[in-house]
C-alpha cells in the first residue's frame, strides 16, 4: 500500500487546456485536510456493504446507518470545501494520490482523487441533497419491508456518484459512471415484483449501456492519442481537431445516455417506476446531470473541436424542446417532472456546448436545478403519500388547502423553475439564455436559432410547470376513491418528510441569489472553466430578461386560464395531433422499436436460422451419414442361423472360385 501523498497542482487562472502543467511542475504541498477526500467515498460504501452483508439483522437500525453515512460524507465534504476555499484561487486544483492502480509496462495509472472547485460543487450538491433525501426516505419508505435494502442502494449510489465526480482519471470516472448506472438500475427496479417496473429498470440499463459504449471508445481514443487517460494527461494535451472531434462526439454519446438527452432519452420517463426519493436524487438532482459534468470536465477537448460543440448545442436544444413538449401532455405527475428534468438538462447541455462562456452557467443551473427539482420531486412524493400513491394529476386538484407545507415548498420550486425573480432559476436560466444569444465564431444565425429555442423553451416550461402546479394544488377536487374503495383523505406528510422539503425550498429561493451575488459562483469555478471576457449578445442586455419574463408570463397565464380557472376534465380529452404524440413521448419508443428493436429481432432470427441450417445442418448431416449406413446394413442381420450359414457358404464358394480362377 502506498502512502497517501497529495500533489497540488499550481494552476494559473486561464483557459484550462493551456494551464494544467505536466506532472513535473507540481509543488508537493502537504495533503493535510484533503486526506478526508477518500473518506467521502469510503463511508457510504462501507455502510452499503454492512447493510447488504448483514441483511435482515440490520432491519431495525439500517436506515439510520444509511442516513448517518450520507451525513458523515457531507461533513467531510464541507471540511474539504472550506479548506479549498481557504486557498488562493490559483491553487485550488489538488490531486490526492491513492497509489498505483494499473502498472502495465509503459502504462501507469494512479488511482487518485481530484479536489477542485468543479468536483467540490458536485460533492456538496450530492452529499447535501443526498442526505436530505435519505432523511425523507426514512419516513417515505417506512411501510416497506425492504427499507434497509433501499438504503443500502442509496448509499451505494452516493459512493458511486462521488467516485464519478472525484476521480482524477477518465478510467476511475468510468468506474463511478458504471456504479451509478448499477445503483440506478437497482433502485428503478426496487419494486421488481411488479413486472413493468423491472422492465423499466432494464430499459434504463440498456439505454445507459449505449452511452457507455461512447465513453469506452473515448477512453480508447484518449489512450491511443495521448498515451494516458488521467485528466492531467488528457486535458493538457493539445489534440488536433479531428481527434478532439472524435473524442468529443463519443463523450457526448456517453453524456446523452446518462443524462437522457436526445436520442437516448426514452428511459427517463419509465425510470419514474422507482420510489419517489430515487427519482428526486438520481433522476433529477444528481446522476442525470453527470453528462453535463463530463462535458464541462472535458472542456479543453470540446474547446478544440468546434464541430463537436455545435453538435452538443444542437442536442441540448432539441432535448430542451422535446422535454418541454412532452411535459405539456403528461398527466402522470412524476412523468411530467421527468420530462421537465430532461428539458432542464437540455438547457445545461446547450450551455456546456457554448464553450467557455457557458460552462459555469451550465454548472450553476445544475446546482439550482438540483435544489428545486429535488424539492418538487419530494413534494410529488408527499402528494402521493397523502393521496394513496395516486399519480394521475387529473385526479388531484385543490390539494393546496390540505397539505400546506407541501403546497408552499412546491410553490418555491415552481417559481424557481419558471425563473421568476428573485427565485434561483431566474439567475441560472436567464444566464444560459443570454449566453445562447451570444454569436459563436461570428455566426449570428446560431445566436438567433439557439437563443430563440432557449427563449421559447422558457415559455413552454412556464406553461407545463404551471399546468402541473395548478392541476395538483388549485382548482376543484377531482379525487377518485382509494384503492380499498374508501374516500381520499389527503393529509400532510410527517415531519421527517416535510423538513427536507422545507430546506430544499429555502435553497430554491435563495441559492441563485446568494451564489450569483458579485458573480461569486462563476469566480469559484474559474480555475476549471477558465476566465471569460464579457461578450455582446445579438440583443441588448436589458431586452433578454424582459423577453424571457414575458414568455414565462404568457405561459403562466395560459396555464392559469386552462387549468386553474376552467374545469379540468377528469377523462383526458382526445387532444390535438401534437398532444397525442407528446403523450407517447413523441413516438420515441415506436421509433426506437422500429429502428432498433425490430431490425435487431430480424437479425437475431436470421442468425438463429443460419446457425440451425448452416452450422447445425453440417454437423447433424455428418452424423446422419453413419446412422444411415447402419440402417442399410443392419437389414443383413436377420438373426436366422441359416442365413448366416448361407452367407458363409456363398462366401466360401466365391473364395474357392477366386482361388481357382487365379491359379489356372
Residue 218: which of 239, 193, 203 has the closest Cα? 239
| Cα-trace Rg, the chain | 31
Beta-strand relationship, 5-9 and 107-115: unpaired
Burial class of residue 247 in the structure, from the number of CB atoms within 10 Å of its CB (0-12 exposed, 13-18 middle, 19+ buried): buried
DSSP string spanning 150-209?
A: HHHHHHHHHHHHHHHHHBSBHHHHHHHHHHHHHHHHHHHTTTTTSHHHHHHHHHHHHHHH
Non-local CB neighbours of 204 within 8 Å, separated by 6+ positions:
184, 185, 188, 267, 268, 270, 271
| 656 near another protein (CB under 8 A) | no
In sequence order, the β-bridge partners of residue 557 are none
Q: How far apart are CA 107 and CA 193, in angstroms?
A: 46
Among 637, 662, 663, 664, binds another protein (CB under 8 A): 637
| 566 near another protein (CB under 8 A) | no
Q: How far apart are CA 242 and CA 226, in angstroms?
A: 14
* Minimum distance, C-beta of residue 659 to another protein, in the bound complex (Å): 17
Q: Nearer to another protein by C-beta: 604 or 647?
A: 647
Q: How far apart are CA 8 and CA 155, in angstroms?
A: 29
| 3 near another protein (CB under 8 A) | no
Q: Nearer to another protein by C-beta: 576 or 638?
A: 638
Q: How far apart are CA 205 and CA 198, in angstroms?
A: 11
* Minimum distance, C-beta of residue 663 to another protein, in the bound complex (Å): 17
Q: Nearer to another protein by C-beta: 107 or 644?
A: 644
In sequence order, the β-bridge partners of residue 107 are 104
Binding mask 251-270 for another protein (x = CB under 8 A): --------------------
| 634 near another protein (CB under 8 A) | yes
CA distances to 142, 338, 386, 410, 614 from 404, in Å: 22, 24, 12, 10, 70
Q: Nearer to another protein by C-beta: 597 or 646?
A: 646
Helix/strand/coil percentages in the chain, nearest 5: 75, 5, 20
The phi-psi region of residue 485 (left if phi > 0; otherwise alpha if psi is between -120 and 50; otherwise beta) is left
If you search the block for the grid coordinates 478544440, which residue do you land on?
Answer: 304
Which region among 327-335, 588-596, 603-611, 644-652 touches another protein (by CB under 8 A)? 644-652
| 628 near another protein (CB under 8 A) | no
* Minimum distance, C-beta of residue 630 to another protein, in the bound complex (Å): 9
* Minimum distance, C-beta of residue 614 to another protein, in the bound complex (Å): 33
Q: Nearer to another protein by C-beta: 485 or 639?
A: 639
* Minimum distance, C-beta of residue 652 to another protein, in the bound complex (Å): 10
Among 1, 224, 625, 641, binds another protein (CB under 8 A): 641
**Which residues ranging from 133 to 152 are in contact with another protein (CB under 8 A)?**
none
Binding mask 588-627 for another protein (x = CB under 8 A): ----------------------------------------
* Minimum distance, C-beta of residue 638 to another protein, in the bound complex (Å): 6
Which region among 225-233, 236-244, 386-394, 632-640 touches another protein (by CB under 8 A)? 632-640
Q: What are phi and psi of 230, to 5 degrees?
A: -85, 155
Residue 333: which of 291, 367, 377, 292 has the closest Cα? 377
Please, what is the Cα angle at 329 between 325 and 332, to 5 degrees?
Answer: 125
| 642 near another protein (CB under 8 A) | yes
* Minimum distance, C-beta of residue 660 to another protein, in the bound complex (Å): 15
C-alpha cell at 220: 480508447
Which region among 245-253, 358-366, 442-450, 631-639 touches another protein (by CB under 8 A)? 631-639
Among 645, 654, 655, 659, binds another protein (CB under 8 A): 645
Among 53, 591, 646, 659, binds another protein (CB under 8 A): 646
Which region among 249-257, 286-294, 394-402, 643-651 touches another protein (by CB under 8 A)? 643-651
| CA end-to-end distance (rounded Å), the chain | 96
* Minimum distance, C-beta of residue 641 to another protein, in the bound complex (Å): 5
C-alpha cell at 334: 412524476
| 640 near another protein (CB under 8 A) | yes
Residue 592: which of 601, 605, 583 has the closest Cα? 601
Residue 437: which of 429, 423, 448, 445 has the closest Cα? 448
Cβ 154 vs Cβ 145: under 8 Å: no
Which region among 132-140, 197-205, 360-368, 638-646 touches another protein (by CB under 8 A)? 638-646
Q: Nearer to another protein by C-beta: 653 or 658?
A: 653
Which region among 78-86, 227-235, 361-369, 629-637 touches another protein (by CB under 8 A)? 629-637
Q: Is 467 helix (H, G, I), strand (E, B) or coil?
A: helix
Q: Nearer to another protein by C-beta: 18 or 645?
A: 645
Among 540, 639, 660, 663, binds another protein (CB under 8 A): 639
* Minimum distance, C-beta of residue 635 to another protein, in the bound complex (Å): 8
Q: Nearer to another protein by C-beta: 542 or 640?
A: 640
* Minimum distance, C-beta of residue 631 to another protein, in the bound complex (Å): 10
Sheet containing 5-9: give its strands across: 5-9, 93-104, 107-115
Among 649, 654, 655, 657, binds another protein (CB under 8 A): 649
Which region among 112-120, 328-336, 376-384, 639-647 touches another protein (by CB under 8 A)? 639-647
* Minimum distance, C-beta of residue 636 to another protein, in the bound complex (Å): 9
Contact footprint for another protein (CB under 8 A):
634-635, 637-642, 645-646, 649
Amino acid at each position: 500500500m502506498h502512502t497517501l501523498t497529495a500533489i497540488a497542482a499550481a494552476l494559473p487562472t486561464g483557459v484550462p487546456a493551456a494551464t494544467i502543467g505536466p506532472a513535473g511542475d507540481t509543488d508537493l504541498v502537504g495533503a493535510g485536510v484533503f486526506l478526508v477526500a477518500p473518506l467521502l467515498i469510503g463511508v457510504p460504501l462501507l455502510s452499503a456493504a454492512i447493510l447488504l452483508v448483514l441483511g435482515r439483522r440490520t432491519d431495525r437500525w439500517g436506515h439510520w446507518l444509511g442516513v448517518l453515512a450520507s451525513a458523515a460524507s457531507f461533513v467531510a465534504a464541507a471540511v474539504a470545501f472550506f479548506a479549498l476555499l481557504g486557498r488562493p484561487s490559483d491553487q485550488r486544483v489538488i490531486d490526492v494520490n491513492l497509489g498505483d492502480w494499473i502498472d502495465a509496462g509503459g502504462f501507469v495509472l494512479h488511482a487518485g482523487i481530484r479536489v477542485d472547485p468543479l468536483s467540490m460543487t458536485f460533492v456538496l450538491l450530492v452529499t447535501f441533497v443526498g442526505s436530505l433525501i435519505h432523511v425523507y426516505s426514512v419516513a417515505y419508505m417506512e411501510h416497506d419491508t425492504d427499507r434497509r435494502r433501499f438504503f443500502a442502494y442509496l448509499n451505494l449510489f452516493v459512493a458511486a456518484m462521488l467516485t464519478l465526480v472525484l476521480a482524477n482519471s477518465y478510467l476511475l470516472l468510468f468506474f463511478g459512471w458504471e456504479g451509478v448506472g448499477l445503483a440506478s438500475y437497482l433502485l428503478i427496479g426496487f419494486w421488481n415484483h411488479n413486472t413493468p417496473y423491472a422492465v423499466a429498470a432494464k430499459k434504463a440499463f440498456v439505454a445507459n449501456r449505449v452511452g457507455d459504449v461512447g465513453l469506452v471508445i473515448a477512453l480508447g481514443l484518449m489512450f491511443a492519442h495521448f498515451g494516458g487517460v488521467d485528466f492531467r494527461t488528457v486535458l493538457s494535451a493539445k489534440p488536433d481537431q479531428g481527434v478532439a472531434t472524435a473524442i468529443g462526439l463519443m463523450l457526448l454519446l456517453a453524456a446523452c445516455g446518462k443524462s437522457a438527452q436526445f436520442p437516448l432519452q426514452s428511459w427517463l420517463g419509465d425510470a419514474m417506476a422507482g420510489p419517489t426519493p430515487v427519482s428526486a436524487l438520481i433522476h433529477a438532482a444528481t446522476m442525470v446531470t453527470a453528462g453535463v459534468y463530463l462535458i464541462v470536465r472535458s472542456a479543453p477537448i470540446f474547446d478544440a473541436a468546434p464541430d463537436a460543440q455545435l453538435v452538443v448545442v444542437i442536442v441540448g436544444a432539441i432535448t430542451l424542446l422535446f422535454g418541454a413538449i412532452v411535459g405539456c401532455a403528461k398527466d402522470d405527475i412524476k412523468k411530467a417532472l421527468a420530462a421537465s428534468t430532461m428539458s432542464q438538462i437540455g438547457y445545461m447541455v446547450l450551455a456546456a456546448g457554448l464553450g467557455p462562456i457557458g460552462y459555469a452557467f451550465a454548472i450553476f443551473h445544475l446546482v439550482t436545478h438540483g435544489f428545486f427539482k429535488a424539492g418538487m420531486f419530494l413534494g410529488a412524493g408527499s402528494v402521493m403519500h397523502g393521496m394513496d400513491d395516486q399519480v394521475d394529476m387529473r385526479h388531484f386538484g385543490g390539494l393546496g388547502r390540505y397539505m400546506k407545507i407541501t403546497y408552499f415548498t412546491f410553490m418555491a420550486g415552481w417559481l424557481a423553475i419558471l425563473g421568476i425573480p428573485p427565485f434561483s432559476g431566474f439567475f441560472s436560466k436567464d444566464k444560459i439564455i443570454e449566453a445562447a444569444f451570444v454569436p459563436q465564431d461570428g455566426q449570428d444565425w446560431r445566436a438567433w436559432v439557439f437563443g430563440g429555442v432557449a427563449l421559447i423553451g422558457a415559455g413552454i416550461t412556464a406553461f407545463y410547470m404551471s399546468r402541473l402546479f395548478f392541476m395538483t394544488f388549485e382548482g376543484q377536487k377531482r379525487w377518485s376513491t382509494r384503492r380499498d374503495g374508501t374516500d381520499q383523505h389527503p393529509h400532510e406528510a410527517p415531519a421527517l418528510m416535510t423538513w427536507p422539503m422545507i430546506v430544499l425550498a429555502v435553497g430554491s429561493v435563495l441559492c441563485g441569489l446568494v451564489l450569483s451575488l458579485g458573480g461569486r459562483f462563476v469566480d469559484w469555478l474559474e480555475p476549471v472553466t477558465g476566465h471569460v471576457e464579457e461578450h455582446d449578445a445579438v440583443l441588448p442586455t436589458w431586452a433578454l430578461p424582459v423577453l424571457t419574463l414575458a414568455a414565462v408570463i404568457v405561459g403562466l397565464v395560459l396555464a392559469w386560464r386552462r387549468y386553474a380557472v376552467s374545469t379540468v376534465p377528469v377523462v383526458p380529452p382526445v387532444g390535438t395531433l401534437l398532444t397525442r404524440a407528446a403523450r407517447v413521448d413523441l413516438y420515441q419508443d415506436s421509433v426506437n422499436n422500429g429502428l432498433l428493436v425490430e431490425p435487431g429481432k430480424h437479425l437475431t432470427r436470421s442468425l438463429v436460422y443460419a446457425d440451425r441450417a448452416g452450422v447445425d445442418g453440417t454437423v447433424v448431416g455428418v452424423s446422419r451419414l453413419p446412422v444411415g449406413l447402419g440402417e442399410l446394413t443392419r437389414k443383413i442381420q436377420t438373426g436366422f442361423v441359416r442365413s448366416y450359414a448361407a452367407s458363409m457358404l456363398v462366401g466360401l464358394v466365391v473364395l474357392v472360385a477366386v482361388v481357382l480362377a487365379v491359379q489356372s
